């Protein structure tokens, strides 16, 4: 929410230029000093500055005699009395990038957000002016006279907080780790969900959302309050949220959270040492398609990137829609060892799913077989599982060439027939294959009472 930023700073620049120019006009060079005069007439500089400020307001289409004009004139007087502040207005430029986006302290952010809430909710007219301004392509001062004096004063106070902020006091916090920023994002959404769960049929407009979010952040305790105020201010300034940042650069999150070295010690100790399981790839990219047998139109093309970091049998993966859209904008992150998933996370813009983690290291024994036909593998699943599934049970089937799955694959493919049962009793059956050369469990189909999805491999690139 760039609250009238360009137009407002342009207006402040206009009134600042008047007072700052008057205070910094140099005397004529080499002029001889004048002798004091007992009857020297006192200069009415204050009146001259006010007249010039009034003229600047008129030039911007504002009435200096209106209540709104008087608010701005009082700030013009503050600028006249404070050349340093006046110069900062001028230095900020019309876009205000150097000052408005300052790295405010947590205390400054909270005050700034509270003022922002007032600026759009003081009266119904303030909200209408703000919403109307958002529809315009060009930033203009035409909406400022529509603001109530209280809203306009709050807007001025917001600008003053940003302008007076000292670079030496910059808050260097980035909002914590990616996982912490996810939790902060969830916290902000919870402030809206509480209101959306009410029976009020009226939809929330942007002003009401701002009010709810600011109140939600103000009621939080540390350290969430500091992280949430930073996240909210970034969101209102149209910066990407934590989920959006991850969706744009997924490998950053993969490297932070899906490296076996950050797993709990109990799991790390159960993994083989580096170099013990050499694999024929460092990175493998799979071009696959999930085909919905009941609704072919909803089938989806995906790109899966598999990463082998240390030749210890542990593989990290990123699966994304080949062509992300509004309805298909997500990324699945996984860290697997054999048939066991060590950690996984489905990330979407709303970050509705939680990261899941394997709790039982004994699962790693079953993850490696033995893959004898007829053998049964019981593998605990990472928790918390969204469907309440606790265990994956697989029966080992026949062995066949991996080229029957995709012609460029080498080695063998061992069929695995698996099933998982949700907390509601829904049984999902899977047909997977264990790719011996790649030390990977690859899903070929999934079926339950709601339908069947089949996976078709269109291409594999090995690096």
pLDDT digits (tens, 9 = 90+) for 327-341: 778 999 999 999 999
Give the pLDDT of residue 1. 45
Say whether pLDDT at 97 is over 60: no
For residues 383-394, average pLDDT:
94
Query: Is the residue at 37 inside a domain?
Result: no
Q: For residue 428, what are the contacts with CB-CB under 8 A and spacing of at least 6?
A: 419, 420, 421, 422, 446, 447, 448
389 and 275 in one domain?
A: yes
150 and 17 in one domain?
A: yes
Which of 109, 140, 169 is at the close of a domain?
169
Phi-psi region of 285 (alpha: psi -120 to 50; beta: other; left: phi over 0): beta
Nearest 5 degrees, angle CA 22-CA 48-CA 141? 85
224 and 76 in one domain?
A: no
366's tokens: 């079953």
253 and 232 in one domain?
A: no
Which of 121, 150, 169 is at the close of a domain?
169
- Tokens 């919905």 map to which residue? 292
Query: Is the residue at 327 inside a domain?
Result: yes
Query: Is the residue at 343 inside a domain?
Result: yes
399 and 267 in one domain?
A: yes
409 and 444 in one domain?
A: yes
For residues 3-29, average pLDDT:
55
423 and 315 in one domain?
A: yes
Say whether pLDDT at 42 is over 50: no
227 and 258 in one domain?
A: no
Other beta carbons less than 10 A from residue 339's beta carbon:
22
389 and 420 in one domain?
A: yes
For residues 225-245, average pLDDT:
90
| pLDDT band (50, 70, 90) for residue 43 | very low
Q: What proportion of the chain, given as a percentage, has pLDDT over 90? A: 55
Say whether pLDDT at 108 is over 90: yes
Query: Is the residue at 33 inside a domain?
Result: no
Query: Is the residue at 362 inside a domain?
Result: yes
Mean pLDDT of the chain: 85
Entry pTM: 0.80
| pLDDT band (50, 70, 90) for residue 195 | low
Where are the extended beta strands (E) located within 203-293?
283-292
Give residue 379's domain range: 245-462
Say whether pLDDT at 287 is over 70: yes
For residues 307-322, average pLDDT:
96
Query: Is the residue at 31 inside a domain?
Result: no
Which of 169, 196, 213 is at the close of a domain?
169
Considering its fold, how many domains does the chain have in total?
A: 3
Query: Is the residue at 400 inside a domain?
Result: yes
Q: For residue 151, what are the contacts with CB-CB under 8 A and spacing of at least 6?
A: 118, 119, 120, 122, 123, 126, 129
In terms of average pLDDT, the best of 3-12, 186-195, 358-367, 378-387 is 378-387
238's tokens: 């149209």
163 and 15 in one domain?
A: yes
| pLDDT band (50, 70, 90) for residue 317 | very high
Query: Is the residue at 228 inside a domain?
Result: yes
Give the pLDDT of residue 136. 65
**Contact of 184 with 176, CB cutoff 8 Å:** yes
- Phi–psi pair at 380, nearest 5 degrees: -60, 145
Q: What proportion of the chain, given as a percentage, has pLDDT over 70? A: 84
**Span 251-285, pLDDT tens digits:** 999 999 999 999 999 999 999 999 999 999 999 99
313 and 421 in one domain?
A: yes
Nearest 5 degrees, angle CA 194-CA 200-CA 201? 120
pLDDT: is 163 or 305 the higher one?
305
For residues 175-192, average pLDDT:
91
252 and 380 in one domain?
A: yes
């Amino acid at each position: 929410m760039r609250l009238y930023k360009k137009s407002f700073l342009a207006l402040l620049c206009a009134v600042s230029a008047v007072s700052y120019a008057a205070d910094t006009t140099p005397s004529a060079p080499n002029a001889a000093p004048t002798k004091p005069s007992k009857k020297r007439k006192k200069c009415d500089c204050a009146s001259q500055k006010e007249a010039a400020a009034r003229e600047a307001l008129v030039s911007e289409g504002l009435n200096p005699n209106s209540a709104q004009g008087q608010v701005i004139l009082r700030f013009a007087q503050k600028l006249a009395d404070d050349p340093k502040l006046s110069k900062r207005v001028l230095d900020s430029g019309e876009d205000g990038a150097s000052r408005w986006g300052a790295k405010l302290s947590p205390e400054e952010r909270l005050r700034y957000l509270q003022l922002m809430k007032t600026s759009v909710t003081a009266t119904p007219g303030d909200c209408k002016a703000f919403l109307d301004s958002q529809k315009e392509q060009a930033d203009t001062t035409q909406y400022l006279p529509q603001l109530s004096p209280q809203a306009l004063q709050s807007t001025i106070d917001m600008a003053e907080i940003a302008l007076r902020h000292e670079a030496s006091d910059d808050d260097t916090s980035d909002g914590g780790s990616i996982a912490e920023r996810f939790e902060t994002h969830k916290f902000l959404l919870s402030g809206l969900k509480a209101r959306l769960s009410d029976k009020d049929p009226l939809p929330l407009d942007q002003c009401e959302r701002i009010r709810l979010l600011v109140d939600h952040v103000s009621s939080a305790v540390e350290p969430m309050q500091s992280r949430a105020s930073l996240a909210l201010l970034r969101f209102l300034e149209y910066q990407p949220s934590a989920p959006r940042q991850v969706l744009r650069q997924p490998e950053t999150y993969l490297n932070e959270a899906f490296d076996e070295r950050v797993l709990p010690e109990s799991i790390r100790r159960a993994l083989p040492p580096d170099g013990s399981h050499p694999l024929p790839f460092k990175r493998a990219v799979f071009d696959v398609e999930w085909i919905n047998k009941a609704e072919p139109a909803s089938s989806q093309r995906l790109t899966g990137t598999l990463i082998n970091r240390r030749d210890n049998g542990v593989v990290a993966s990123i699966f994304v829609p080949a062509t992300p859209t509004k309805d298909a904008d997500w990324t699945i992150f996984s860290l697997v060892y054999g048939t066991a998933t060590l950690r996984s996370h489905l990330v979407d813009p709303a970050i509705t799913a939680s990261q899941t983690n394997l709790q039982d290291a004994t699962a790693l024994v079953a993850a490696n077989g033995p893959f004898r036909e007829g053998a049964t593998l019981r593998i605990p699943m990472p928790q918390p599982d969204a469907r309440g599934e606790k265990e994956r049970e697989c029966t080992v089937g026949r062995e066949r060439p991996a080229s029957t799955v995709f012609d460029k694959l080498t080695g063998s493919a061992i069929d695995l027939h698996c099933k998982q049962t949700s907390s509601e009793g829904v049984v999902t059956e899977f047909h997977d294959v264990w790719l011996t050369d790649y030390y990977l469990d690859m899903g070929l189909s999934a079926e339950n009472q709601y339908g069947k999805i089949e996976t078709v491999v269109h291409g594999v690139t090995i690096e």
